[in-house]
Amino acid sequence: MATTEFGQAVRRWRDRVPPEAAGLPAGGHRRAAGLRREELALLAGVSVDYVTRLEQGRATSPSTQVVEALARALRLSGGERGHLFRLAGLAEPGPDTVPTYVTPSVQRLLDRLTGTPVAVYDASWTLLVANPPYAALMGDPSGWRGHERNGVWRNFVGPGSRARQSPEDRREFEAALVADLRSATGRYPADRRLSRLVADLRAHSSRFAELWDAGAVGRHEAARKTIDHPGVGALTLDCDVLTVEGSDLHVMVYSAEPGTPDAERLALVTVLGTQSLVG
């Protein structure tokens, strides 16, 4: 049960995180140097009202997903994260569940790639965090909830992505997604959230069910992708997926060859995205 002590801890840690450290603009008058409640809510993917009620001790029983999201947004260390789970009356997720903890080293990587689109996904391809250039390139994910944050769901059931694909590319990509998800279920058979995702995908996508039942195989590899951006048009970029050893996180990075028109368009996308955040 969330207590006043839980809320006090969230408030204390919120005050120590400057907005620029979280990839947010630091403009405007601030009473404190840390994150505002609305900024923490944006980063954690919850409502401002819910953050307020948590900090005031009026909200009870935050879910594991909410506590994990707050820990990421507040950039807590491993020990601090465990403490936050205990304050919420929850057991820290164990090795039988899909890891969703963004390690400090991965967070530092994101902090340094301020002009490069980078996103971090868990082993089930659920989006954990995306930096502003990634949001500007691929669409702002801050309003996505539940299955909307999962890349497999978005490609089989939801609106898809801005990446242009030929029919052959699409088939290979779908097979790779299904194979990745199957591999994740083998590593984390006790994860109920993952089992529910697979069940919902089978129920809502006949194509996913077909590939799942057929035992589709494939793997994600470095590729060049053409992104249809609504503001600057098409740009072709290298997309690399890096797997973090020991935490099973997928780090997706988009880049352009320096000095090319695509690099110029990518820089423009980043500037346009920053302006929209400030606005």
Residue 276 confidence (pLDDT)? 54
Chain Cα centroid distance, residue 92: 20
Identical topology for domains 4-87 and 104-278: no
Nearest to 16 by CA among 40, 38, 34: 34
Radius of gyration (Cα) for the chain, nearest Å? 19
What are the tokens at 19? 């907005």
Indicate if the pLDDT at residue 23 is higher than 80. Answer: no
Q: Kindly tell me the burial class for residue 190, based on how many C-beta atoms sit within 10 Å of its own C-beta (0-12, 13-18, 19 or more).
A: exposed
CATH 1.10.260.40 fits 4-87, yes or no: yes
Q: How many CB atoms lie within 10 A of CB 55?
A: 21
Indicate if the pLDDT at residue 24 is higher than 80. Answer: no
CA dist., res. 257 & res. 76, Å (int)? 35
Contact status, residue 71 vs residue 90, Cβ threshold 8 Å? no
Residue 229 confidence (pLDDT)? 95
Nearest to 237 by CA among 133, 126, 155, 114: 133
Indicate if the pLDDT at residue 66 is higher than 80. Answer: yes
pTM value?
Answer: 0.84
Indicate if the pLDDT at residue 81 is higher than 90. Answer: yes
What would the mean pLDDT of 36-42 be, rounded to a whole number? 90
Residue 215 confidence (pLDDT)? 87
Min mean pLDDT across 107-121, 171-185, 212-226 is at 212-226
Residue 126 confidence (pLDDT)? 95
What would the mean pLDDT of 109-138 be, rounded to a whole number? 92
pLDDT digits (tens, 9 = 90+) for 227-264: 999 999 999 999 999 988 888 999 999 999 999 999 99
Per-residue pLDDT band for 105 (boundaries 50, 70, 90) equals confident
What are the tokens at 221? 């590899």
Contact status, residue 235 vs residue 227, Cβ threshold 8 Å? yes
What would the mean pLDDT of 185-198 be, rounded to a whole number? 94
Residue 20 confidence (pLDDT)? 78
Indicate if the pLDDT at residue 278 is higher than 70. Answer: no
CA dist., res. 77 & res. 72, Å (int)? 9
Write down the domain spans for the chain. 4-87, 104-278
- Tell me the CATH number for domain 104-278: 3.30.450.180
Measured over the CA atoms of residue 25, residue 26, residue 31 and residue 33, the dihedral's sign is positive
DSSP code of residue 239? E
Per-residue pLDDT band for 127 (boundaries 50, 70, 90) equals very high
Per-residue pLDDT band for 31 (boundaries 50, 70, 90) equals confident
